Amino acid sequence: MNAPSGEEIERLLGDPYDADNPFGFAAAVRRDEQDAFPEELCAALREAGFHLNYLPQEWGGRFETFEHSMVLVRTAARRDLNIMPGTMFGITAATCLALHGSPEQRKYAAEILGRGGAVGFALSEAEHGSDLLANTVRLEPAAQGWELTGEKWMVGLGRRCEALYLVARTGGRGPGAFSAVLLDLSGVERGQTVPTSGMRGIDFAHLRFNRFPVPAEALVGSEGQALESVMKAQQVVRVMSMAGSLGCADTALRLTLDFATARQAGRTTVRESPYPRRELAIASAALLAADVTALTAARGIHVFPEVFSVWGCAAKHLVAENTEELIRRCATVLATRSVLRTEGPGDGLFQKLQRDAAIVRVVDTSTLANLRAYAAQLPTLGVSRGAENCATSPDGAAPANTPHPPRRAGTDLIRKVFDLTEPLPPYTPEHLDLTARGNSPVTAALFDIAPGVTTTLTAQGDRTTAALTTRLTTALTELTEDTATADRDTGLTDAADRFAHLHAAACCLLLWWANPTRSLFGAEPGDTRWLAACLAYLLARAAGTDPRREAHTLLPALDITTELHAGVRLFCAYPKQLAPRPAPEPAADH
């Protein structure tokens, strides 16, 4: 059986605006107010096979591509982000086991996850946060295997998971001091659910162990191998977490457009009033850029898994940043209604979206830890060099001692990512790496195509987008120069933030370039309105300036999202049809 499509999920769950729909916005708010787990919603999705969309087919799952899974998840998450932890929190453990688990361990996890159960993931400790090398939970040899002692912090679904993938110290110092075990949780002391501002109703719990017996066969892979597996698995988790951010952003903008379109302000509507229109245009550009970044990352992990230690982190950062800005701009337009729990859009749903988006931002790692994860790689990563040198030595050979070297980022491979008609190669998790080598394939490809794109745009009379393309190549060149002299802490972290925005801008340009005959965001093929808006927004953010300075170029983004919303379609490069809804009632004048 194939995985369900986004349209099938929409038909199953019905109109989210229907107050009586148990799978709608009002039901999500009621659960949020009661700190209730989305039992009914998750049950309906499990019945449809939604929970199988990330499990490999050899595990009994229905995984096809990350592109398909991302669209499916964000479509469901726009109703209630809690469907992600409710049905998909096993993705981290499953990915780790796919990398280094034994056949018996994989079978055990697949049986639990296949019937909709949960396999938890325990890495963090309260005293150490993202400083994983300081973790102290210990796994020590015992007569019958091992003994586990210590406390793991904020384990997702910690009170209901049936099994647990846990990382503990087995050695002295360094990354090789940590090993993983797959535990049956019978008899484990589970703490109370830890209340959180967002994702209310999801049980995050502390798990305590006091010389807990662990059989020898519970060890996953080899001793000292755990952090390698975890760091690779986090690359996959970041792809899917972007779907959660996009789901929150989609609904926040949709609710705000409803209000701004219906609400009269003098002789016009709020949406057509100059200041709110500008704020909505910025929010729209932020969402379009986030969509392209997430979409191309979901495709890129299939084609360039070996550089995803940078690509995935940068994409995760950009999507979370853009979602935060979108919600802030929407709150400006909604004004008082953004803080009302009963009379605001969705009767309190907007506040839930604010809280949930903040949780997605840090649920797999903190913002700073995510930036640092790839900042240190930037000085050796070719950001503004030609693609012909990608991951090769001067004689064209792969670098020595590279287990899975990156391929040449030629036109064919780049098109596989950015041409949406191109089928994706199978996902190969064994090719994920901890360090990207060679050039960034996205930014390197940008330098290859930019001269031709600029010439074409200028010939067509589109000097605005041509100028933005030149600004982008200049900004990438400057980033390379600045990175070479940046200090190892704040300087490189700031450079990582700039890189994320410039990488996203390159993705937007490459997507437009690779799809000349395809409609994107519901616009005519070749239309550059969305592209110019995304480039202007991202270049402003990369430079640390307010996107409002680019207002004239950003305004068409609002026209695009307004058209997609009127057609009840997903805010996506290839917009999917959503469940129909009744027209909103006109609001009273001020």
Query: pLDDT tens digits, residue range 10-38?
Result: 999 999 999 999 999 999 999 999 999 99
Tokens 């009302």 — which residue? 340
Q: Where are the domains of the chain?
A: 6-89, 119-224, 225-384+407-582
In the chain, % of residues over pLDDT 90: 84
Helix extents (H) in 392-462 = 411-418, 441-459
Contact 558, 552 (CB under 8 A): no
Q: What does the alpha-carbon distance between residue 353 and residue 351 come to, in Å, rounded to a whole number? A: 5
- pLDDT, residue 364, reads 83
Cα separation, 148 vs 135, whole angstroms:
13
Categorize the per-residue pLDDT at 385 as very low, low, confident or very high, splitting at 50, 70 and 90: low
What is the mean pLDDT of the segment spanning 149-173?
A: 94
Give me the pLDDT at residue 405, please. 47
CATH match for 119-224 among 2.60.40.10, 1.10.443.10, 3.40.50.620, 2.40.110.10: 2.40.110.10
State the average pLDDT over residues 299-319.
96
- Can you identify the CATH homologous superfamily of domain 225-384+407-582? Butyryl-CoA Dehydrogenase, subunit A, domain 3 (1.20.140.10)
Q: Which pLDDT does position 583 carry in this prediction?
A: 59
The token pair at 559 is: 């026209």
pLDDT at 522: 96
Q: Model confidence over 471-513: pLDDT tens digits? A: 999 999 999 999 988 988 899 999 999 999 999 999 999 999 9
Residue 389: its pLDDT value, please? 38
Give 541-588 pLDDT, tens digit per residue: 999 999 999 999 999 999 999 999 999 999 999 999 999 876 555 555
For 68-124, the pLDDT digits (tens) are: 999 999 999 999 999 999 999 999 999 999 999 999 999 999 999 999 999 999 999
Nearest to 537 by CA among 501, 584, 580: 501
- Mean pLDDT confidence for 415-435: 95
CA distances from 243 to 157, 173, 294, 438 (A): 19, 36, 8, 29
Kindly state the average pLDDT of the residues 515-540: 97
Q: How far apart (Å, rounded) are the C-alpha atoms in residues 123 and 95?
A: 14
Residue 387: what pLDDT? 37
Give me the pLDDT at residue 244, please.
Answer: 96
DSSP E strand stretches across 94-199: 119-122, 138-142, 145-156, 163-169, 178-184, 189-193
Task: Give which of 253, 297, 304 is closest to 69, Cα–Cα.
Answer: 297
Instruction: Report the sign of the C-alpha dihedral through residues 438, 439, 442, 445, in that order.
Output: negative
Locate tokens 């662990």: which residue?
Answer: 214
The reported pLDDT for the residue numbered 391 is 37
Q: How far from chain centre, in Å, is Cα 547?
A: 23
Contact of 141 with 73, CB cutoff 8 Å:
no
Asked if 513 and 456 count as a contact pair (C-beta separation under 8 A), the reply is no
**Residue 404: pLDDT above 50?**
no
What percent of the chain has pLDDT above 70? 94
> Can you tell me which residue has the tokens 């280094």?
100
Check residue 488 and give its pLDDT: 83
Instruction: Identify the sign of the CA torsion 532, 284, 312, 542.
Output: positive
Strand segments, DSSP code E, in 195-259 are 204-215, 219-220
Q: What is the pLDDT of residue 363?
A: 85
The band of 388, judged by pLDDT with boundaries at 50, 70 and 90, is very low
| Structure tokens belonging to residue 582 | 């009744």
Q: Is 523 exposed, middle or buried (0-12, 13-18, 19+ CB in 10 A)?
A: middle
- Looking at per-residue pLDDT, the higher value among 406 and 49 belongs to 49
Residue-wise pLDDT tens digits, 339-370: 998 888 888 999 999 999 999 999 888 899 99
What is the pLDDT, as a whole number, of residue 345?
87
Q: Which of 142-156, 192-206, 458-472 has the highest mean pLDDT?
A: 458-472
Average pLDDT for residues 279-286, to the nearest whole number?
A: 98
Residue of higher predicted confidence among 191 and 415? 415
Q: Which amino acid is it at 130?
A: S
- Check residue 588 and give its pLDDT: 52
Spatial separation of the C-alpha atoms in residues 209 and 207, rounded to whole Å? 7
pLDDT at 390 over 60: no
Q: Decide: helix, strand or coil at residue 251.
A: helix
Average pLDDT, the chain: 91
